[in-house]
A and B are shown apart, each in its own frame.
Chain A
Amino acid sequence: MSDLPRHPGCDGAVIDASLHLLDRTALDNEGLPVSVIDDLEIDFESKPQPVITSLVLSASIFGPLYRGHPPSFRLYRVPWRSVSDLGSGIRLAMERDDIETTWTERWLRSRLIGRIPGGRHAPE
C-alpha cells in the first residue's frame, strides 16, 4: 500500500474499503488463508468520524447465492484491532484455531482427512 495518499488529518494511509478490504483473503498469524472478507461493520455513531469496528468473515461458499444479511449472531466477526497487516491478503494476529470459521476445517481434519494413512505427513 506504499503509494497511497496520506490522510491529511491523521497519521495513516488512505485505503478504499471496497478495493483493499472486501473480498480479500484473510490470513492467520502464520500467513495461511482462513477465509475471505465478506463485509465490514462500521460504527457510525463514533466521534469525530465513523470507524470500522470489525471485519465479517465469509462463512460458506454459497453465501453469495442468497441475498440479504444473515442474522447478527450468525456473523463471523473479527475485531479490527486483530488486523496486523493490510496487503494483497489481510493478515490477522490470531491463532488459526481461535478463528471461528475454521471449525469445518478442524472437524474434517479430526474426523476424516487426518485419519487416512499419511494424512499427517507432508508429501515427500
Chain B
Amino acid sequence: MPYTTQIQDKARELLAGDQVSCVIGYEVGSRGRTRPAFIYDPDDVERLVWNQNCTHNLTTYLQDKLRPDRGQSEEEPRRVAVVVKPCDSRAINVMLAENHFAREQVHVIGVACDGILEGAGFGKATEGVLQARCERCSERTPVVYDTLIGEAPEVETSDEAAFADLADLEAMTPSERAEFWLSQFDRCIRCYACRQVCPMCSCPTCLFERDDSLWVGMRIELNEKRTFHLGRAYHLAGRCVGCDECERVCPMDIPISLLNRKLAKEIEVQFAYRAGEEPVPSPIITILSGEEG
C-alpha cells in the first residue's frame, strides 16, 4: 500500500478515536509545493500525502503544540501525531531528553524514507537528485516511532561519508577559512529562518536577540552575524540531528550545516555520542539533578 494511504488511514484512526487532537503531516499546497499540514478532522485526512518533497522537519511544531506553559492551561495534556523521517525522529529524542514534553503526548508516525529531493519545498525539485544530507544518510528507519510506515533497505554509508565535505575546509589555513566564512556570512540578512525552523532552537528569548544586546548587538553586520551563527552552532552541539533544514530555508544559500556537522563530528570524536539516538542529553549539557558524569 502506498505510504500516502497508510498515513491517511492512520491519521483517520487516531483522530476518529480521539487519541490525538491533531495530526501534523504534509500536504500539497499552492503551485504543487509540498508543505506542512495540520489536520484536526478525520474528514480532512485526504489532504495528507507522502512524497519525495517532504523535506520539512515537522517536529519543530511539537513544542508549541504540546507545551502547557506557552499560555495554554489545560487539565489533560495534549496529544498530537506527527509524521517523521529518520532524521526528524532523532529530534524527538533530543526534545524528550530535554523534557519539552512527555513521550505519551506524541504518536510518532515514522516513515522509512527513500531520501528527499534537492529543491524540495520550493517547487524546484529535480527528479532523481537527492539532498546532500540524504546522500550522507546512514539510517533509513526512524529511531523512535509508534507506527512505522514502510521498510527501508539497508544503506551502506560510512562515517567518512557523513563528514567528507568538512575535509576541504579543514585542509585550509586559518586565514583561508576565515575568508570563506566571512564571505558566506556577508550575505546573511539575519532573517533567523535557520533558527526558527530548527526544532532544537526554542528558547523563549534567543540569546542573540535580546533587547539589552547582551552579547551580540542588533546590527546586520559581519561581527554580529558571525557570532550569531557560531554561537547558535555551539548551542546545538550534541543536539543537532543533521536534518539540515536550516540550510535549506536560508534565502542566501549559506552552508550553515557545515558548522553544525563540524561540531557533531567533534562531539562524536570526543564523547562517542550522536544526538537523538537515545533520549539522553548532549554530553556538554549539565544536568543539575544528580552526579556529574
A complexed with B: no
Show the binding face of A for B, using Cβ within 8 Å.
Answer: none
Show the binding face of B for A, using Cβ within 8 Å.
Answer: none
